[in-house]
Amino acid sequence: MYRRSADGWVEVICGPMFSGKSEELIRRVTRSKIARIPVQVFKPQLDTRYADEEVVSHSALKVEAEPVDGSLELLRAISDATEVIGIDEGQFFDDGLVDIVDNLAAKGKQVIVAGLDTDFLRRPFEPIPTLCDRAEYVTKMLAVCHRCGGAGMYTQRIVHSDDLVVLGATDAYEARCRMCYDPTEPEQPSLGLGDE
Ligand code: ADP
Ligand code: MG
Ligand code: ZN
Give the residue, 148 or 184, on which the prediction is more confident: 148
Q: What pLDDT is attached to residue 122?
A: 95
Residue 48, in any domain of the structure: yes
Q: Which atom of ligand 1 is nearest to the CA of 26?
A: 6
CA of 70 to the centre of ligand 3 (A): 35
Task: Of 70-74, 125-129, 188-192, give the lowest mean pLDDT range.
Answer: 188-192
Residue 163, in any domain of the structure: no
CA of 181 to the centre of ligand 3 (A): 7
- As a dihedral over the C-alpha atoms of residue 118, residue 190, residue 26, residue 112, rounded to 10 degrees, the angle is 0
Task: Judge whether residue 168 has pLDDT over 70.
Answer: no
Calpha distance 188→132 (Å, rounded):
33
CA of 56 to the centre of ligand 2 (A): 7
13-56 per-position pLDDT tens digit = 999 999 999 999 999 999 999 999 999 999 999 866 556 899 99
For the CA of 88, the nearest ligand? 2
Residue of 11, 23, 89, 174 marked catalytic? 89
Closest C-alpha residue for ligand 1 atom 19:
194
Residue 17, in any domain of the structure: yes
The proportion of the chain whose per-residue pLDDT surpasses 90, expressed as a percent, equals 76
Question: Both ends of the chain: CA-CA distance in Å?
Answer: 58
Calpha distance 134→23 (Å, rounded):
22
| CATH number for 102 | 3.40.50.300
Contact indicator for 109, 82 with CB cutoff of 8 Å: yes
Closest C-alpha residue for ligand 1 atom 27:
18
Tell which one of 59, 119, 180 to mutate to probe ligand 1, the residue whose CB is within 8 A of the most ligand atoms. Answer: 59
Residues 6+ apart with CB under 8 A from 186: 160
Helix, coil or strand: residue 133: helix
Residue 154, in any domain of the structure: no
Calpha distance 109→91 (Å, rounded):
20
| Residue 98 domain boundaries | 9-141
For the CA of 62, the nearest ligand? 1
| Number of folded domains that form the chain | 1
Ligand 1 neighbours by CB, cut-off 6 Å: 15, 17-23, 57-59, 143-144, 146, 152, 175, 193-195
Q: Mean pLDDT over all residues of the chain?
A: 90
Residue 181, in any domain of the structure: no
Contact indicator for 11, 139 with CB cutoff of 8 Å: yes
Residue 129, in any domain of the structure: yes
Residue 40, in any domain of the structure: yes
24 catalytic per annotation: no
CA of 72 to the centre of ligand 3 (A): 39
Continuous segment of H or E residues that includes residue 100: helix 97-106
Q: For residue 194, name the pLDDT band (cuts at 50, 70, 90).
A: very low
